[in-house]
A and B are shown apart, each in its own frame.
Chain A
Amino acid sequence: MTQATATAAARPARVPGGRRRRPGSRHSLTGFLFTLPFMALFLAMFIAPLVYALYLSLFREQLVGGNTFVGFDNYSEGLKDEQFIDGIQRIALFMVVQVPVMLFLALVFALILDAGTVLFARLFRVGFFVPYAVPTVIAALMWGFLYGKDFGPFADVADWLNVPPPNFLGEDLMLWSIANVVTWTYTGYNMIILYAALRAIPAELYEAAAVDGAGPVRTAIHIKLPLLRPALLLCSIFSVIGSFQLFAEPQIFYDIAPDVIGKAYTPNLYVYNLAFADQRLNYAAALSFLLGFVVFVVSYAVMYSSRRQEARR
């Protein structure tokens, strides 16, 4: 609509026999100059270390014997590394359960807040968002205390009820205890994004729906949800990438339950320990790239499936 007319105006008038001046080239140069500071920092702080890591991953430095070029040996070792593969499988399971649950909660909260029938809506908005403002390390420490088998509040309640307390930080429940902390932290964040997207929906659509006799639930399902699709996709991608990078919570829980977490609970933790405890920087660099590749594939799959759903409508 409005976009189409804009592009039409920008197309240059053909000057017969004359030189065709590229439209807006001066604009593109000034635009580029504005982005130059960002570009410089981006290159220095992001791209350069990435290239250096790539370079490192092709070598192997030994404690005795120095640096040698090993080509793709580190990568092939990584593909066979059981601990690395276990970590990825664990994180995939984590993602498949935690991301939908969290997004569903965020969506429900956002819809409820948007319905406008909640008292103190602003208070709830801030309240849901506060966990995201708590630094991850503090949150993990706090939840570590809450989960405590002997002296945490759940244990006290269980004591009072005379049942053995659930071992939140034991082998079976550890992953879901971490999922709980992550959900607690990020539901508010995703809710704010979805709420902002909901606020951007033009009110005429609601009026038209009301005229057609749609109640609040049908409005939510048939009007709000479809228009939320881009925001939901954004949240999904962020959550998928974030869950693959899970590090802070396992690292903090290591002190409380080192037997369950070990050195390789998540791929990121494994890479960290390889680099700093085992001093195998080259192998760690190779694994980081492998992990990055996995994240890339999964994110692409998510985006592709959503695009296919769009096309089908």
Chain B
Amino acid sequence: MSDRKLSYAHAFREAVFQAMQADPDVFVAGEDIGAFGGVFHTFDGLQKEFGEDRVVDTPISEQAIVGLGVGAAVSGLRPIVDLMFMDFICVAMDQIVNQAAKIKYMFGGVPKVPLTITTTGGAGVSASAQHSQSLEAILCHIPGLKVVYPSNAYDMKGLMTACIREDNPTVMVKHKRLFGASTIVPEEPYSIPLGVAKIVRPGTHVTVIAYGRMVTDALAAADTLAAEGIECEIIDPRTLQPFDIATVVESVRRTNHAVVVHEAVRFGGLGAEIAAQIQEEAFDYLDAPIGRIAAPFSPVPFSPVLEQLYVPDAARIADGIRAAVARPGKGR
């Protein structure tokens, strides 16, 4: 196997490139993705390769961009539409929630909607409150949408390929702080099945569920804790909707402790749903309340200092895990 390394951004681009090569029905539309190649260079050179008909620069109208994608998808094409920032899904909510996610249901299951919506989430680049949000829980609340959130370049290429091939609407969330992170990425096309979690680090004492950028920080926390004798099992769900609860429950039944980590605010975040499902399936296996490590209930601050405090990091994750496995009465 080749040990070629590719960045998260280029892994995304390669998945799109290969899908467009393989299938003439695949096309891309979005703001500044053509001539400019996307603000994060995720669409670099695609317009040059495939032309303006298949790599379409759109006006600044998110509702129209997603609407174009929905219409093209039900007409038999396989569109990829890009919303530059996840914050902008709010502008296109009617098309996403009431059209893309509902059409198959409203027309007796007949239409296929092979639409992929790509967007960019997360804080950490001082982009302030309107360009830094983590709104994945809102998307996961909508029946009819599949939501993926890769944590590394390898998963990015495989999940993006799976999204493009999927016959139902998918939302691919990329994390802004991961674009430069590289891993080994095979050159040949491959796909990672949607809805299948991955145990990225096996452990025995506590199950840590983290996705997106938080996987990197959780792995760093696990290294710190291993030195203290706490072995974390880290699970990256990779797909947030549908959520692979079976892998999580199987792990929690072994470790008897669970901690969920996400960058979105704590209240009503995915951690609440995951914790609820764990206690439904593994109540009798829990030795402690399920921990949640997340952002405070506040908009993302613009100030870099405050933003750093806002986003969970390895140290905060380690503290949260220590609290979940703590036995203060031991050794008394």
- Do A and B bind? no
